[in-house]
A and B are shown apart, each in its own frame.
Chain A
């Protein structure tokens, strides 16, 4: 198969789109699956509003991340990879991961296994921040290189 950079970007866009569709379904069908989740886990029924708050607050961060990812993919497709704008988008994603980490860390109070999601989000925040620092440094170098004759 003749695999190239454009196809890889398109595949990533498809994954992001599928995730957005899944998230939309989860948001719309929350009134069905959140009570079901409570029934299959050890969460007390009185924590239903808290779980809904966790899910929907986390969803807000996820939507912001997805929008940033779509914009990132669009600029990568256009060939603008090392730009300040992309570094800003990565910063937004990293702060969203931090936000999700805090939300799930608080949610550990009523459902301890959420510590796994909080840890994953915190770890993801660190990875994205490192990538953001790399892109920021590269953007500076690129602007200098662009003005080298």
Chain B
């Protein structure tokens, strides 16, 4: 079981760069990279809210639950 982060898909759809998005939601590019690569262990509601606001999407567009085993 794992949570897949589809942030790069949404970013590509909205044509926004990682640096731009990080600046707009107020986190460091390094932290955004942690989130994008699926290394994050948790995400704050405030970060999720800012992401949804900037990418004009729902949390479900960014996060996806999978039954597959974690790597």
Contacts and interface: CB of A to CB of B under 8 A. Distances in A.
| Most B CB within 10 A of own CB, among A144, A147, A148, A149 | A149
Contacts of A147: 34, 39-42
Contacts, number: 22
Contacts of B15: none
Interface residues of A, number: 4
Contacts of B34: 147, 149
Interface residues of B, number: 12
A149 B34 CA distance: 8
Nearest to B51: A149
Interface string B22-55: 0000010001101100011111100100000000
Nearest to B28: A149
Contacts of B35: 149
B63 to A, nearest CB: 12
A148 B28 CA distance: 12
A59 B34 CA distance: 47
Contacts of A144: 41-42
Contacts of B27: 149
Nearest to B5: A149
Interface of B: 27, 31-32, 34-35, 39-44, 47
Interface of A: 144, 147-149
22 contacts: A144-B41, A144-B42, A147-B34, A147-B39, A147-B40, A147-B41, A147-B42, A148-B40, A148-B41, A148-B42, A148-B43, A148-B44, A149-B27, A149-B31, A149-B32, A149-B34, A149-B35, A149-B40, A149-B42, A149-B43, A149-B44, A149-B47
